[in-house]
Amino acid sequence: MSSSQQPNLRLERFKAVAGNQNSILLSVLIALAIVFTLAEPKFFSVATAGNILTDWGSIVLLAAGQTLVIISGGIDLSVGGTLAISGVTSAWVMSTVLGFDITTSGSDAYPPLLVGGLVAIGTGLLVGLINAILITKLRIVPFVATLSTMGATLGFAIIISNGMPIGGPNDFSLISPINPTWMPLSWAVIGVIIVVTAVGLFLHKSRFGLHTYAIGSNSFAARAAGINVERHLTKVYALAGALAGLAGFYVYLRLGAGSPSSGVMRELDAIAAVVIGGASLMGGIGRMMGTIIGALILFTVQSGLIMAGVAPDWKKVVVAVLIAAAVAAQTLRPQNRAR
Amino acid sequence: MKEVIYEVKGVSKRYGSVVALDGASLKLHAGEVVGLVGDNGAGKSTLVKVLSGAHMPDGGQIELDGKQVSWSSPREALDAGIETLYQDSGLAPHLTVSKNVFLGREITKRGLLGKLGFLDSKAMEEKAHSELERVGIAVPASNRSVSQLSGGQRQAVAIGRAVAWARKVIILDEPTNHLGARQAGEVLQVIKEAKKKGLGVIFISHTLPHVLEVTDRIVVLRLGKVVRDAPTSEFTGDTLVGTITGTIQTIPEEDA
Ligand SMILES: Nc1ncnc2c1ncn2[C@@H]1O[C@H](COP(=O)(O)OP(=O)(O)OP(=O)(O)O)[C@@H](O)[C@H]1O
Ligand SMILES: [Mg+2]
């Protein structure tokens, strides 16, 4: 029987295909870094890398959840609002309820920060569950359901905070590069990398991930195969919400405050990262590694343009163009055109 | 005659104002192949979905082994040993052949990783291949995604999956669609094998010679009603066509 040789062959083929997609994205990333360095030599520095990675940390958490949602055939427009309401709620609990203010710093801040982190994740989880109820119980299409929660979360974030950032305890060393001369990663970014890697492993290696792909690929077939589609989608939106809550806490660490405006338009960045990474908005297609590199490309472009002297107002335009380009590149790819 | 394993009595199903099933009844014995025929829109696929748990009927009863059941999801019917090949789109196109074969019944790794739901993809690939071979369905490499297969190859995978998992009843909604003459012959062979093993088979097809060849009994649906239910030996090709189209008058049997 030749089947003893087949697994190796398959593995090779799989590596070739998966590697291909990622190496295209990596090449784009490297090419961008070279272009920006040629335009502005200061771009090539640990400081720039640190800035890009710090920006990346918040969006890649949103984008990781968004990847699951998009692969399942849905969309979550509420992640930016969820980030804001989670950061604000977390700050409010730490400062007003627990009574730790902005003067609590260093390791003294760890106990309240632990509570704050859990509150942020819990708040995000709650928003995710509300999305899930709107989508699976009330049968509202994801676009409209999450558009409503986006409005509601952004509104509540302002109501809770009276429109002003809420300061609280913090240890800024958590979010600063570990070593400014050679190590651009911060502990917070390392934490994000661990979380996103874990979510990626679940997506690609576990039953949970397989069912997510199956539902996005053909939800009737998934149900016919015995999958409880509603319950699974509930988990997907809840997880996306919890990750957005964690992103809210990350942004709190960055600002030392829960800011109601911190979530505005962040869903656009998250969707851009997922789409640049090669996921299909039709569902069933996407890879976590693509999203991770997609988010890096997004912030490399933004920070490169700013350093090259382009006015920051152009940022949103650039994100929009990147989304359009990525979707166009996807539909023009031969294997997708045939469908 | 062997015992009745699966039965529906007077089931009805409406889609909005469309009456798709109107008091249809059907019995299936162990080791029996029942042909379900009728014109387009007669309600065959709707009856399939009621039998597979994909649709809740608006009225009527379902009995499995003489006990009344009510499927609230396909999962429950699958767990009872009832496998279904749907007329269209029973597979997830972006998943590989082996993942489709094992969808809903994945093999997980041993130990802690398995408890967390981590999959043993290698085991699934090997088993998918051997299972499909065992039931006599030739499919290409099981690591290819279904969207890369031809229509006939997809159909073969879907049939193979249904037959490989079935323990009691197999429902095949137009399984020979998209198939060449040789592959269609293979499917008829597979049906005969299943019958020999004592499974009950419901076979739906518009290719009447296939129906006449492989079934023991034929149930004719017209506009959601069963207009004839008789042993296959009582039909010829012509009388079957006449019964389906309504040019041969039938007296609708009232429920006993
Ligand atoms: N999802 C649906 N929504 C609305 N009407 C439907 C739906 N599915 C089927 N119908 C209607 O119900 C009736 C029965 O359809 P069904 O698919 O059961 O027919 P069929 O006998 O399988 O036909 P075919 O031989 O063409 O497959 C038809 O009038 C059809 O238009
Ligand atoms: Mg049909």
Q: What confidence tens digit (pLDDT) does each residue in B173-201 have?
A: 999 988 888 889 989 999 999 999 999 99
Query: Considering CB atoms only, which of A14, A224, A285 is closest to B74?
Result: A224
- What pLDDT does residue A18 have? 56
B48 close to B86: Cβ distance less than 8 angstroms: yes
Give the span between the Cα atoms of B123 and B115, in whole angstroms: 16
**Measured between beta carbons, which residues in chain B are less than 8 angstroms from residue A287?**
none
- What pLDDT does residue A19 have? 57
Q: Which two tokens stand for residue A158?
A: 């302002």
Q: Most A CBs within 10 Å: which of B84, B95, B124, B125, as the mutation test of the A interface?
A: B95
Residues B106, B110, B111, B113, CA torsion sign: negative
Is the Cβ pair A218, B91 closer than 8 Å?
yes
Q: What confidence tens digit (pLDDT) does each residue in A62-103 have?
A: 999 999 999 999 999 999 999 999 999 999 999 999 999 888
Is the Cβ pair B92, A285 closer than 8 Å?
no
Counted residue by residue, chain B has a size of 256
Q: What confidence tens digit (pLDDT) does each residue in A282-323 have?
A: 999 999 999 999 999 999 998 898 888 888 888 878 888 888
Q: Which letter, b or e, does each residue of B145-181 get, where b requires 16 or more Cβ atoms within 10 Å of its Cβ? A: bbbebeeebbbbbbbbbbbbbbebbbbbbbbbbebee
Number of cross-chain residue pairs from A and B with Cβ atoms under 8 Å apart:
90
A334 exposure class (CB count in 10 Å sphere: 0-12, 13-18, 19+):
exposed
Residue identified by tokens 């490309």 is A297
Looking at A20-24, A310-314, A333-337, which range is the least confident one?
A333-337
B180 close to B187: Cβ distance less than 8 angstroms: no
Give the span between the Cα atoms of A225 and A166, in whole angstroms: 49
**Whether the CB of B44 sits within 6 Å of ligand 1:** yes
Q: Using a pLDDT cut of 70, give the percent of chain B over it.
A: 96
Mean pLDDT for the stretch of residues A188-193: 97
pLDDT greater than 90 at residue B140: no
Task: Select, from the ranges A132-136, A299-303, B158-162, B172-176, the one with the highest average predicted confidence (pLDDT).
Answer: A132-136
Query: How many angstroms is it from B49 CA to the middle of ligand 2?
Result: 10
Q: Does B103 fall in a domain?
A: no
Residue identified by tokens 């650039």 is A318
Q: Which run of H or E residues covers position B219?
A: strand B217-222
Query: How many angstroms is it from A216 CA to the middle of ligand 2?
Result: 24
Rg of chain A, C-alpha, whole Å: 20
Query: How many angstroms is it from B40 CA to the middle of ligand 2?
Result: 7
Query: How many angstroms is it from B152 CA to the middle of ligand 2?
Result: 17
- What pLDDT does residue A306 have? 87
- Identify the residue whose C-alpha is closest to ligand 1 atom 4: B15
Give the span between the Cα atoms of A269 and A62, in whole angstroms: 9
- Strands (DSSP E) contained in A35-106 are none
Q: Between B163 and A131, where is the model more confident?
A: A131
Q: Does B143 fall in a domain?
A: no
**Measured between beta carbons, which residues in chain A are less than 8 angstroms from residue B86?**
220-221, 224
The CATH number of the domain holding residue B81 is 3.40.50.300
pLDDT greater than 60 at residue A8: no
CA–CA distance from A279 to each of A70, A205, A216, A299 (Å)? 7, 17, 11, 18
**Measured between beta carbons, which residues in chain A are less than 8 angstroms from residue B100?**
221
**Whether the CB of B21 sits within 6 Å of ligand 1:** no
pLDDT greater than 60 at residue B203: yes
Nearest to B94 by CA among A6, A273, A221, A231: A221
- What pLDDT does residue A40 have? 87
Q: Does B188 fall in a domain?
A: yes
Q: Using a pLDDT cut of 90, give the percent of chain A over it.
A: 72
Is the Cβ pair A227, B143 closer than 8 Å?
no
Please state the atom number of ligand 1 nearest to the C-alpha of residue B21: 14
Query: Considering CB atoms only, which of B54, B89, B94 is closest to A213?
Result: B94
Type of residue at A173: S
Query: How many angstroms is it from B78 CA to the middle of ligand 2?
Result: 20
pLDDT greater than 90 at residue A331: no
Q: Could you tell me the residue range of the domain that residue B77 belongs to?
A: 4-93+162-255
Is the Cβ pair B93, A217 closer than 8 Å?
yes
- What pLDDT does residue A7 have? 47
Residues by chain with Cβ below 5 Å of ion ligand 2: B 44-45, 87
Query: Considering CB atoms only, which of B73, B91, B143 is closest to A10?
Result: B143
Please state the atom number of ligand 1 nearest to the C-alpha of residue B206: 25
Q: Which run of H or E residues covers position B255?
A: none
- What pLDDT does residue A321 have? 85
Mean pLDDT for the stretch of residues B242-248: 88
Q: How many domains does chain B have?
A: 1
Residues of A with CB under 8 A from a CB of B: 3, 6-7, 10, 13-14, 202, 205-208, 210, 213-214, 216-218, 220-228, 284-285, 339
Those residues with Cβ within 8 angstroms of residue A257's Cβ, 6 or more apart along the chain or in another chain: A91, A102, A165, A166, A167, A168
Query: How many angstroms is it from B20 CA to the middle of ligand 1?
Result: 6
| Domain locations in chain A as residue ranges | 41-263
Give the span between the Cα atoms of B89 and B93, in whole angstroms: 9
Q: State the distance between the two ends of chain A, measured CA to CA, in whole angstroms.
A: 35
Give the span between the Cα atoms of B219 and B178, in whole angstroms: 24
∠ at Cα B62 (B61, B65), nearest 5°? Answer: 135
For residue A77, how many other CB atoms are within 10 A of its CB?
23
Number of H helices, E strands in chain B: 9, 10
pLDDT greater than 80 at residue A338: no
pLDDT greater than 70 at residue B82: yes
- What pLDDT does residue B100 have? 95
Q: Does B126 fall in a domain?
A: no
**B117/chain A closest Cα distance in angstroms:** 5
Chain mean pLDDT for chain A: 90
Residue A28: which pLDDT band, with cuts at 50, 70 and 90? confident
Residue B255: which pLDDT band, with cuts at 50, 70 and 90? very low
**B149/chain A closest Cα distance in angstroms:** 12
Question: H helices within A140-206, ranges in order?
Answer: 142-161, 187-205
Residue B251: which pLDDT band, with cuts at 50, 70 and 90? low
pLDDT greater than 70 at residue A6: no
**Whether the CB of B60 sits within 6 Å of ligand 1:** no
- What pLDDT does residue A105 have? 87
Those residues with Cβ within 8 angstroms of residue B249's Cβ, 6 or more apart along the chain or in another chain: none
CA–CA distance from A308 to each of A29, A36, A39, A44, B60 (Å)? 17, 7, 6, 12, 73
B111: left (phi over 0), alpha (psi -120 to 50) or beta: left
**Whether the CB of B188 sits within 6 Å of ligand 1:** no
- Identify the residue whose C-alpha is closest to ligand 1 atom 8: B46
B9 close to B189: Cβ distance less than 8 angstroms: no
A253 close to A170: Cβ distance less than 8 angstroms: yes
Mean pLDDT for the stretch of residues A259-276: 94
**Whether the CB of B87 sits within 6 Å of ligand 1:** yes
- What pLDDT does residue A333 have? 63
Is the Cβ pair B108, A3 closer than 8 Å?
no
- Identify the residue whose C-alpha is closest to ligand 1 atom 11: B20
| Among the bound ligands, the one closest to the CA of B221 | 1
B148 close to A336: Cβ distance less than 8 angstroms: no
**Whether the CB of B15 sits within 6 Å of ligand 1:** yes
Residue B31 CA, chain-centre distance (Å), reads 15
Q: Which letter, b or e, does each residue of A262-273 get, where b requires 16 or more Cβ atoms within 10 Å of its Cβ? A: bbbebbbbbbbb
